[in-house]
Structure 1
Amino acid sequence: MSDKDKKNEPNETEIEKVDGTDVEVEETKKEDDEYEKVCFICHRPESTAGKMIELPNNISVCSDCMQKSFDAMSNGQIDYSQLMNMPGVQVFNMADMEQQNIPKQQKIKKKKEGEDKKPLIDIREIPAPHRIKASLDEYVVGQEYAKKVMSVGVYNHYKRVATDTMDDIEIEKSNMLMIGPTGSGKTYLVKTLARLLDVPLAITDATSLTEAGYIGDDIESVVSKLLAAADNDVEKAEQGIIFIDEIDKIAKKKNTSQRDVSGESVQQGMLKLLEGSDVEVPVGANSKNAMVPLTTVNTRNILFICGGAFPDLEGIIKERLTKQSSIGFGADLKDKYDHDKTILEKVTVEDLRNFGMIPEFIGRLPIIFTLRGLDQDMLVKILKEPKNAILKQYQKLLALDEVKLDFDEGALQAIAGKAMEKDTGARALRAIIEEFMLDIMYEIPKDDNIGEVTITKEYIEGTGGPVIMLRGQEAMRLR
């Protein structure tokens, strides 16, 4: 080996000194290789702008921007060749420019070239509907019909994604619309489903969506959130699930002379998303602007699930059902449906149109199903039966302090009764328990002798207190 080669070769001690730094640099470089380069000037990604020109300090510029810069210099009135000799003029050095600082959430993962697009779920590994429902049963109490419909719908959807266009028969997409009162478990069902299937999920709210050009989130922002959930991997995002909550808030406004930018216009803008098309979406932002990269996402294999409480829909259904003549022996009583708890299950497309949803929008949501409001017995089951029930969470928290927590059956009924009065479904349970558990969670860590706490009906109703047993008393009782 020559002296020159020996000089250039790093010795072992130098490698040991910078070993940690080298590993860190290598990992950063490897991570950067997974993402597309973005133009420093126009912020377009490599897949849109084409091959990038590398400049010093990790700056990338697309050929279009570079050509425009050369054209501006050559066609301008200034002779740049004379600037070098002009007094007081300093020509900047490209290496002195700050490193291109594109946030990670705005970087797009590279598409793997030369490889067939693989489905997220293998067709042989798709769980059957009864298995999906059995998994949902572990977390969600009641709502048997809704769980059955969602299990079948998701099973068929991912079979469609897995087979894609393997034959001449193309399977249509089965988007869903779920209708149910607040706190009945609409969002929780979708979250549980996505966790079980291990697919990207975006949960968004329709209330912030507006027509393009107005203040608010663009319609394409719902796909941007899915892209972010898929770690900016376009291929992964194109097989995910989007849940749009509060969909009833974009109903067509009635008796208004103003432009309906957050109602009917949003429904019309969402038609292409629901149907399946290539849409340009901002990466890492809710609206398009010059400083945000854009990428193209195909929504053909994205499953859309829309949910809403539709608060005035019950009145529309009652009005339709009692439209018959009120004269004669065959007439229905006007108050026949006033106390019908299953009135939402009688919903039709005509009712949704009267509510303010346009026909084209409803037509792209072929699966329409309802969730029932929760009664007191269901609320008691929600408290104690699911895998991550609220009571089990508190029992685990106190178990970390080596204290056993129990709830009397009367206490559970009292908590459910208070939740029914609030009329906000299962959401009320957490608030009520937080209120009653506050003093217990505060006082118990003070005394190491406490071994067991039992929440009683009297404590919930404010006529008594919880039953507390010391560790010595507990041992005596066991003997």
Structure 2
Amino acid sequence: GRLDNRVVDLEVREKSFPSFEIIAGSSVEEVDINLKDMLPGLFQGKTKTRRLKVPEALEYLTQEEEQKLIDMDSVARTAVERVEQAGIIFIDEIDKIAGREGGHGPDVSREGVQRDILPIVEGTTVNTKYGMVRTDHILFIAAGAFHVAKPSDLIPELQGRFPIRVELHPLGKEEFVRILTEPRSALVKQYTALMDTEGIDLTFTDDAICRIADFATIVNERTENIGARRLHTVMEKLLDEISFEGPDLLEKTVTIDDAYVTKMLSEIVKNEDLSRYIL
């Protein structure tokens, strides 16, 4: 404890390594050549001298020694085994690669992407930097909005690999209220913390949160339904004046209630053209 304030010079190794990969072949099973693995003596990392306090230096040295105790080859083997036996791959926005039958231009390239994905979903061996990985027992889950395309627009072979289909209900007011309040990094908490950096104590009443969720639901129903993303634009429009004038406000305690939300958003929500381009 008596030496905690003493500063020492320590040789610190930079953690960033240049990595070069040469990928040959256009098939799914590609060949990767990692020059860093072939020439380990070439990329040992540079060191630089840093002045650290004793507790910081002790923490760094402890981490360095802990890294030496880890068998990274064993870690990689275990990781590959777990991926092969209990891995889950989630493919989002799969509707973006669905093209109509007999299409031209972009539709042709979308079909090519589907055919590249197909062997991985069916089960194959993929070459990774950690070794060969079999995808036979990996669970694949795909999701998409399918506002324009339909699941039937995917190639038949890929449709057959996703036999279980579930249609989700659109998010409503109740879900928006939960999204605004329950997550650790909920939007309400983010804006409260953001305004706190300007010395402003920002609070939201329960009625205000319900009104925000109500307006977001209305805009989604009248225009394109973009789900919870709508909350970002609604919150930004609601608080733009406070965010801009925050440092100059004389009253440092601001309460967002139902009346304030209605005042700031009701006219925009009523005008479908405005809500389409602003919210």
Partner residue, 2:237? 435
2:208 to 397, 411, 416: 411
Does the CA-based 8 Å contact 1:274-1:299 persist in structure 2? no
d(CA) in 2 for partners of 1:445, 1:378: 33
Q: 1:44 to 1:436 in 2, by over 3 A?
A: same
Partner residue, 2:219? 422
- Per-residue displacement from partner, 1:434-458 (whole Å, max 9, x unpaired)? 11212212323224x6342111223
Q: 1:37 to 1:454 in 2, by over 3 A?
A: closer
d(CA) in 1 for partners of 2:75, 2:236: 52
CA RMSD between the two structures: 4.3
Structure ID, larger Rg: 1
TM-score normalized with structure 2 length: 0.59
Q: What letter is aligned with 1:275?
A: E
Q: What letter is aligned with 1:450?
A: E
Identity of aligned residues (%): 31
Q: What letter is aligned with 1:253?
A: R
d(CA) in 1 for partners of 2:39, 2:187: 53
1:309 to 132, 145, 153: 145
Q: 1:296 to 1:252 in 2, by over 3 A?
A: farther
d(CA) in 1 for partners of 2:228, 2:85: 34
Q: What letter is aligned with 2:142?
A: C
Q: 1:296 to 1:360 in 2, by over 3 A?
A: farther
1:444 to 237, 246, 271: 246
Q: 1:386 to 1:404 in 2, by over 3 A?
A: same
Partner residue, 2:34? 45
d(CA) in 2 for partners of 1:159, 1:439: 52
Q: 1:433 to 1:280 in 2, by over 3 A?
A: same
d(CA) in 1 for partners of 2:176, 2:94: 25
Partner residue, 1:249? 96
CA shift, 1:359, in A, is: 2.9
The 3-state SS of whatever aligns with 1:368 is: coil
Partner residue, 1:9? none
Partner residue, 1:272? 119
1:298 to 122, 126, 133: 133
d(CA) in 1 for partners of 2:261, 2:146: 33
CA shift, 1:246, in A, is: 2.0
Q: 1:37 to 1:415 in 2, by over 3 A?
A: closer
CA shift, 1:374, in A, is: 1.2
1:376 aligns with 2:173: yes
Q: 1:408 to 1:402 in 2, by over 3 A?
A: same
Does the CA-based 8 Å contact 1:246-1:307 persist in structure 2? yes
Does the CA-based 8 Å contact 2:92-2:142 persist in structure 1? yes
CA shift, 1:121, in A, is: 9.5
d(CA) in 2 for partners of 1:362, 1:271: 10
CA shift, 1:114, in A, is: 8.1
d(CA) in 1 for partners of 2:215, 2:142: 30
Q: What letter is aligned with 2:78?
A: K
TM-score normalized with structure 1 length: 0.37
Partner residue, 1:358? 155
Q: What letter is aligned with 2:114?
A: Q
d(CA) in 2 for partners of 1:245, 1:307: 5
Does the CA-based 8 Å contact 1:278-1:298 persist in structure 2? yes
d(CA) in 2 for partners of 1:400, 1:247: 40
d(CA) in 1 for partners of 2:177, 2:215: 11
Unaligned regions of 5+ residues in structure 2, if any?
1-8, 23-31, 44-70, 221-225, 266-279
Partner residue, 2:261? 460
Q: 1:38 to 1:248 in 2, by over 3 A?
A: closer
Q: What letter is aligned with 1:461?
A: T
1:391 aligns with 2:169: no
CA shift, 1:309, in A, is: 0.5
Does the CA-based 8 Å contact 1:414-1:457 persist in structure 2? yes
CA shift, 1:386, in A, is: 2.4
Q: 1:371 to 1:451 in 2, by over 3 A?
A: same
Q: 1:421 to 1:361 in 2, by over 3 A?
A: same
Does the CA-based 8 Å contact 2:203-2:255 persist in structure 1? yes
Structure 1 segment 18-57 matched on structure 2, within 5 A: 23=11, 27=13, 44-45=33-34
d(CA) in 2 for partners of 1:120, 1:274: 17
CA shift, 1:416, in A, is: 2.1
Q: 1:37 to 1:259 in 2, by over 3 A?
A: closer
Structure 1 segment 136-215 matched on structure 2, within 5 A: 160-161=85-86
Q: Per residue, is there more helix in 1 or in 2?
A: 2
CA shift, 1:247, in A, is: 0.9
- Per-residue displacement from partner, 1:21-48 (whole Å, max 9, x unpaired)? xx35xx36x976xx98879xxx943699
